[in-house]
Amino acid sequence: MQNGIIVVNKEKNMTSRDVVNILTKVFNTKKIGHTGTLDPIAEGVLVICLGKCTKLCELLTSKYKEYIATIKLGILTDTLDITGNILKTADYNVTEKQIKDVLTSFLGHSIQEVPIYSAVKVNGKKLYEYARSKQAVSLPKRTIEIKSIELLSFNNDEITFKTTVSKGTYIRALINDICLKLNTVGTMSSLIRTKQGEFTIDNSYTLDDIKNNNYHILSIEEVLSDFETININEELYNKVKNGSIITKTFTSEIACLKYHNKIIALYKTYHQDNNKAKPYIMFI
């Protein structure tokens, strides 16, 4: 069985699940997952976990993501992207300086309303199910962080910008808020995820690449190379293998434990006793 990470450059007009289904057949495994859904309209970095690395999905999902997004001004749709039904049109009269000022105003932490066309659940039901059945629902709000945001181009009715955001940020909703501040409406016409954590679009593979055996699977050691690593002896290995709480010998919150040059577990600080560490993710 393959264990590792492969960075896919997802095409438009397919779901993240479509990619997983295709790669399930390519790698002949059901132990496969991804670390952050991309809408069908979106393209770019989709991190695929194989084998034991599926245990890393949650950890890798929490990383910051970088996007290049394009806004089409003057149109508002129900899905907040160009694939939706038009709800409203409006005039717009904006300058490059106004756009730059508005973009900058979103830097830092803010509260974002989750779009109704999303898979977030309210009372056990996905929001898009409420939308499709035209049922009223109170949309949840989340704290998000915009780490960086910059204007790339402004031509006629299109604004393209690049941004780095925290987990759970909806670029469609950010665009809607940007347009409100510009005193108009707009919708997302394209979206490319260029980076997730350390994984970049420059080091990604198309599905055709993968089908033609032109790809590299990152090992667990490569994926976790930025984490503090502790080499352990046989005595400690036997304790770790049994999932024991151990004396903490690392300085960061989470560290890799290595035995015979292989990462066997991630351990994290045991907050009931900061001198101890407990199992977080096990590979044995």
Q: How far is CA 32 from CA 5, 55, 77, in A?
A: 10, 10, 34
The beta strand positions in the chain, using DSSP E, are 4-10, 32-34, 42-50, 65-73, 75-77, 86-89, 108-113, 121-122, 125-126, 141-155, 158-165, 186-196, 199-200, 228-231, 246-247, 254-259, 262-269, 276-282
Same domain, 122 and 186: yes
Give me the number of domains the chain comprises. 3
Q: Which of 270, 224, 278, 237 is nearest to 5 (CA)?
A: 224
CA angle 35, 197, 41 (to 5 degrees): 55
- Phi, psi torsion values for 209, nearest 5 degrees: -55, -50
Q: pLDDT tens-digit profile of 152-184?
A: 999 999 999 999 999 999 999 999 999 999 999
Q: pLDDT tens-digit profile of 240-256?
A: 999 999 999 999 999 99
Same domain, 255 and 241: yes
Active-site pick, 39, 78, 91, 101: 39
Same domain, 275 and 264: yes
226 is annotated as an active-site residue: no
Q: pLDDT tens-digit profile of 18-76?
A: 999 999 999 999 999 999 889 999 999 999 999 999 999 988 888 899 999 999 999 99
Last residue in a domain, options 206, 221, 236: 221
Instruction: List the domain range (segments joined by +) for residue 154.
Output: 65-196
